[in-house]
Structure 1
Amino acid sequence: MISIFLTNLLLGFSIALPVGTVTIEMTKQGLKNGFWHGWMVGVGGMTVDFLLMAALFLGLAPILAAPAIQTGMWLLGAIFLMYIAYDSIKNADKQITLAGKKTTKKLASSYKNGLLVAVSPSNLVFWISVFGTFLSSSFAEGSELSFIVAGLGVLAGIQVHDIGLMSIVAGTRKVMNETVVKWVSIGAGLVLSYFAIVFFVRFLSRIF
C-alpha cells in the first residue's frame, strides 16, 4: 500500500505541474492576498477532484463519461472561467494586500474561485481515464482499499505542489508593488479568458 501511495503521490504532483486554470488563479490570489488565499484556491480545486474521485468510487463513471455530461461541463467551465476572468480584470487594482499588511478578503471567496475554475472537462477526463481504469482493476482484484490509497496519494501530490508553489509566490510577493500585482491580475484575467473561449469552442464543436 505504501508503494501505491507514493507512486500516486508522484502522479498527483506531476499532473499539477503544468500551468492550468487553477494554477493561474492560485498565483493571482497568492500575489494579491498572500499564501493562504492562494492555497485556498488550490483547496477549492482539490475539492472538485475529491468529488470526482468519490463519484467514480460510487460507480458513476458511465454517467460522467456520457457525451451530454461532458458537453455540459465544457459550457459550465467556459461560463465560470469567463466570470473569474472578468472579475480578475475589473478588480485588478482592488483587494491588493502587500506583504506585511492584513488582507480584508475572505478565505471563503478564494475557495469559491478555486471551485469554479476547477469545473473543467480536463479534470473529468483525467479521473475517468486514469482512475476509472484503476478502479476497474482494483475491484476485479477485490481491493477497494487500493483505489482509496491511490486517490489519497494523488491528492497528497497535488497538495505538495500547491504548498511549494504558494511558498515561492509568497517570497516573490515581498518584492512586488501594487502596480506589478495589478498587471499580473490583468494578465491572469486575459489568460483565463483564453481558456474560457477554448472551452466554449469545444462546447460548440460538440453540439454542431
Structure 2
Amino acid sequence: MDFIMVCIQYIAIGLGLVAPVGPLNIELFHRGLHQGFKQAWLLGLGALSVQIFYIWVIYFGYSGWFLQLKVELVGYAFGAFVLFYFGFSHLLQAFSVDTPRRNSPILAGLAIAFFNPFLFANWYHHFGSTLNTLRVEFSPVMVWIILICMMIGAFLWYTNLAFVFHFLGTRVNFSLKKGLTLIVGLMLLWFCSVYIRRIAEITLHW
C-alpha cells in the first residue's frame, strides 16, 4: 500500500479511537467553553501523553499487567473519585456566580485518561489485535511511523475540539454556559456511577 495512504489511514484510526464521547471529551468541552483554547488543548495533551504510554505498553507486551482485575479495580476506584470531583465541582459552579477556579489542565487530562480502564481496553482491542499483523506486513521502522500517525490523529482531534469549544464559548451567553456546565457535571457523575457499577460487577459478581 502506498506510504501516504497508509499514513492517512492510521491518522484516521487514531482520530477515531479518541473521538467517542466519554469523560475526557466532556471535560475538554467544559474547559474550552469556560477557559478557552489553551486550557482545553493542554487537557488534551495530558490525555495524549497517557495514550502514548498505552501504545508503548501494548507494543512491548506489558498489556497483561493492565488487564489484571486488581489493576482494573484500582483504575475504576481512582477514576470514580476523579470524575466525582470534577462532576461535583461543575455542579457547584453551575449554581454559583463566582469564576471557576483553574487547576492544571495537563494533570486533569492525565488523571482522567490514566484512571480510565475503558480507554486502555479500547486501545488494546483496536491496536493490540492488529499489532502482530502490522509487524508481519511492515518493517519495524514503518510500524513506528504508523504508531506516530495514530498519535497525530489523536492530537488533531484534541486540537480541533479545543478550537471548536473555544469558539463556542465566545458565542454563548452566561446563562447558557451555566446550563451547559450543569449538564457536564451530571454527565461526569453518570460516568462516575458507571465506574462504581463496574467495581460492583468485579467484586460482587453482579
In structure 2, what is the equivalent of residue 113 of structure 1? 108
Pairwise CA distance, 1:178: 2.5
2:157 to 155, 161, 168: 161
SS at match of 1:126: helix
In 2, Cα distance between the equivalents of 1:68 and 1:144? 33
CA distance in 2, matches of 1:126, 1:3: 24
CA distance in 2, matches of 1:150, 1:85: 36
Residue of structure 2 equivalent to 1:148: 144
Letter matched to residue 51 of structure 1: F
Contact 2:17 2:123 in 1 (8 A): no
**Alpha-carbon deviation of 1:140?**
5.2
Taking a change above 3 Å as real, the CA distance of residues 70 and 140 of structure 1, as seen in their structure-2 partners, is farther
- CA gap of 1:27–1:68, structure 2 versus 1, over 3 A, is same
Q: CA deviation at 1:59?
A: 2.2
Q: CA deviation at 1:168?
A: 2.0
What do residues 157-200 of structure 1 show as CA deviations (whole Å, max 9, x unaligned)? 12222222222222222222223222222211110000000111
Secondary structure of 1:91's aligned partner: helix
Tell whether the 8 Å contact from 1:33 to 1:95 is kept in structure 2 after alignment.
no
Q: What is the TM-score normalised by the length of structure 2?
A: 0.85
Contact 2:37 2:162 (8 Å CA) reproduced: yes
| 2:124 paired with 1:125 | no
Tell me if the contact between 2:58 and 2:124 (Cα under 8 Å) persists in the aligned partners. Answer: yes
- Percent pairwise identity: 21
Kept in 2, the 8 Å contact 1:4–1:149? The answer is no
Answer whether contact 1:56 1:128 (CA < 8 A) is retained.
yes
**1:95 matches 2:91:** no
How many residue pairs match? The answer is 199
- TM-superposition CA deviations, 1:59-87 (whole Å, max 9, x none): 21121222322232222221211111122
Match status 1:170 vs 2:174: no
| 1:14 matches 2:10 | no
- Residue 141 of structure 1 and its aligned partner are, at CA, apart by 6.1
Are 1:84 and 1:113, in contact at CA under 8 Å, matched by a contact in 2?
no
Query: For the structure 1 residues 105 and 75, does the alpha-carbon distance in structure 2 shift closer, same or farther, using more than 3 Å as the test?
Result: closer
Change (3 A) 1:187 1:63: same
Q: Conserved in 2, the CA contact under 8 Å of 1:5 and 1:153?
A: yes
CA–CA separation in structure 2 for the residues paired with 1:205 and 1:191? 21
Q: Distance in 1 between matches of 2:201 and 2:76?
A: 10
The runs of at least 4 consecutive aligned structure 1 residues that moved more than 6 Å come to none
8 Å Cα contact 1:32-1:95 kept in structure 2: no
**Which shifted more, 38-47 or 9-18?**
9-18
Whole-Å separation in 1 of the counterparts to 2:27 and 2:86: 9
Letter in 1 for 2:143: F
Question: How many Å separate the matches in 1 of 2:85 and 2:102?
Answer: 18
Are 2:201 and 1:201 equivalent residues in the alignment? no
Q: Is the 8 A contact 2:17 2:122 kept in 1?
A: no
Corresponding residue number in structure 2 for 1:58: 60
CA distance in 1 between counterparts of 2:167 and 2:10 reads 29
Q: Does 1:5 align with 2:7?
A: yes
Query: Residue 67 of structure 1 aligns with which residue?
Result: 69
Q: Secondary structure at the match of 1:59?
A: coil
In 1, distance between residues paired with 2:132 and 2:64? 12
